Each structure stands twice: as C-alpha cells, then as structure tokens.
Amino acid sequence: MTFAEEARRLAGLAGVAFGWRPDDFWRATPDELATLVHACVPEAATPPDAGLIAAMQEAFPDG
C-alpha cells in the first residue's frame, strides 16, 4: 500500500472512530492519534504465573 492510500484509510478510520473531519486528521500529530488509538485498546491481561497455573490444575483436573 502506498503512503497516500494508507493515509486515506487512516483518515477515514479517524473519522469513524473519533468523529474527526479530514482537516482534524491532517493537523493532528502522530502522538495525538496514537493516544486516542491506545485509549480504545483494552489493557492486556497479565499472563498467569506457574503458581496460578498449578492452582487451576488442582481446582480443575482433567480427570
């Protein structure tokens, strides 16, 4: 995809997701766009450690 194609796609997504008009998109900094995108993504869950896995295996044995 070319830069122009990708920019048009991102401008459209910013319009749908954030209500931005094209001028809002082109005046925004990459950090401003990234901040909004990051706010829409849920925080990743912490993976279980060995102790939690062992406790789950004990509580829910496979039989």
> In the chain, what are the domain boundaries?
3-59
The reported pTM is: 0.58
The tokens for 2 are 């070319």
Q: Write out pLDDT tens, residues 21-34.
A: 999 999 999 999 99
- Looking at residue 1, its pLDDT comes to 84
Six-digit token string for 30? 């990459």
Confidence of residue 41 (pLDDT cuts 50, 70, 90): confident
Burial of residue 63, with CB atoms counted within 10 A of its CB: 0-12 exposed, 13-18 middle, 19 or more buried: exposed
Given a cut of 90, is residue 15 above it in pLDDT?
yes
CA atoms of 35 and 31, how far apart (whole Å): 6
